[in-house]
Structure 1
């Protein structure tokens, strides 16, 4: 989601990516400490959780919840299938929606959850990958019944769509593993060098924190920008930055696959005033939000939902209950 406008000046740093370095990072999973010994690296890598990126996903399954299924519109019940779109075209974004090792099979936590919730509703599900803008166009036209693709609930979107929440919309600070620095609030970033994506919600939060810290007499964080995710991680590995502030799913995936970094603070993508929420997107008045909320709550109750999130290292984003059309991010002028 685009960040709200701001007027603070952004310093810009662009990393030069050397092919040999990129290859090394891919093979060693971004060593998080420049001074780490060669002997320590294998044990750290071995400790990282294994993420299955093969086409054979062995997904978590669930049994049908008759009460949830009974809430479905009759046309969907008779049809017995549902289409759950995701924005996975062009390779996608791990661990949300992306292509497996065969470069064609679409996998990820959003795909797993689409299958899990369909199980609960007693439906077969199709999960076509499309572009972000075509997700909304497809819902509008009726081409897709629902979408599970990291869509945040906003007040503006609620005017046109109905939502059933299933994950927190969180951001995270990622830093080299083994340090003592933790970010619990804005004062903890004072004097640090932090990379962030330009034009994002996390950039807006970081710059707002800087402004407030300066007013309190604290040193501002040095904010840096890079051209690609690879560049962020090269800077983190070489200690040119103290942390990267990005979407929690991306941070969690890198932490779990690299094994050399850790998340040192989590914050709502909506800022300090509201917990942002990710939800199943449905066309307004389609009658699908309530059955999906019931299916999600059933999956929460039987533990299958927690297993899916744990599989992708996203347990911190679990919700305790699914809500239909809760308060969303406010409109911005």
Structure 2
């Protein structure tokens, strides 16, 4: 799996700068005189205490195993989930939140990196107990999976820093542009709906170009082969801050024109989503959840309460 290199992190307006639990200066951290991000395998994660009453609700097979097996993205998408500087350990906000949940449930966290496409298969088959991978709740997905929400879903538009594009917040803003989006993602569906609206309005739809990974679209942006990229706002803001070569020119709800939520995903009916949601509500109330979001500059995506199977994006 390809590692995303993170040379220097300068978190500006695009990605809110907040204090971190590991604020001491170390060679394993990036430091620009402001926020430091620990990139070492030793993450000094925020931890929570076990809550026996909630832990008792975990299915017997998982409690007997003693582990919460969590599927996360292995393709490298900071600050969501990416490789530490040992090129092996998975770090990021998703592993950190999964750690809090595992702690409350009294289980050892077992992170299993995988591809986006395979994530749904390993959760559906029961190979992984739960998926923490910036997964948007949709009504279609709720037919097969159960969810426990933990963040607001926000999407962003990224362009080259030298681009003349200053704002993208509606379909008309991308008319005739060459844009890119991840295949099989929620944001692809939003983009396709935007193109449908452009056609109805008599405007030229955007041309959509697909790439296999982040490196490819980033190179395409810098070379001018595409005009903009549409993806999860946390990852785009992080890349813009790190590279200094791009900028985020628009943020839209995860559903395009309707709110959406990011959630932990479990196999439908396996009785895992409910205790996960209860665990999330414990750490939301204790402030541990806020500490994790602050650590990764995502305080703006906090939710007040975790819900089991909240309203999802409408069916296609």
Instruction: Indicate which of 170, 173, 179 corresponds to 2:157.
Output: 173
Deviation of 1:102 after TM superposition, in Å, equals 1.4
Unaligned runs of 5+ in 1: 1-24, 30-44
Aligned to 1:267: 252
Are 1:298 and 2:290 an aligned pair? no
Aligned to 1:84: 69
Aligned to 1:17: none
Instruction: Indicate which of 103, 107, 114 corresponds to 1:119.
Output: 103
Deviation of 1:289 after TM superposition, in Å, equals 1.4
Aligned to 1:20: none
Aligned to 1:37: none
**1:158-307 matched pairs, under 5 angstroms:** 158-176=142-160, 181-190=166-175, 194-197=179-182, 200-213=185-198, 215-216=200-201, 228-237=213-222, 242-272=227-257, 274-307=258-291
Counterparts of 1:181 and 1:217, CA distance in 2: 23
1:64–1:262 Cα change, 3 Å: farther
Structure 1 counterpart SS, 2:150: strand
Deviations 1:95-117 (A, max 9, x none): 33332221222222221111111
Consecutive aligned runs of 4 or more in structure 1 exceeding 6 Å deviation: 25-29
Unaligned runs of 5+ in 2: 10-30
Counterparts of 2:238 and 2:177, CA distance in 1: 24
Query: Are the equivalent residues in 2 in contact too, given 1:194–1:244 (CA < 8 A)?
Result: yes
Aligned to 1:314: 298
Instruction: Indicate which of 63, 70, 77 corresponds to 2:49.
Output: 63
Quick check: 256-265 or 216-225, which moved more?
216-225
TM-score of the aligned structures, taking structure 2 as reference length: 0.74
Structure 1 counterpart SS, 2:269: coil
Higher percent of residues as helix: 1
Deviation of 1:266 after TM superposition, in Å, equals 1.9
Aligned to 1:94: 78
Counterparts of 2:110 and 2:184, CA distance in 1: 33
1:205–1:67 Cα change, 3 Å: same
Deviations 1:208-256 (A, max 9, x none): 4345346546676565555653343234345665532222232133134
RMSD: 3.7
Deviation of 1:74 after TM superposition, in Å, equals 5.5
TM-score of the aligned structures, taking structure 1 as reference length: 0.70
Quick check: 258-267 or 207-216, which moved more?
207-216
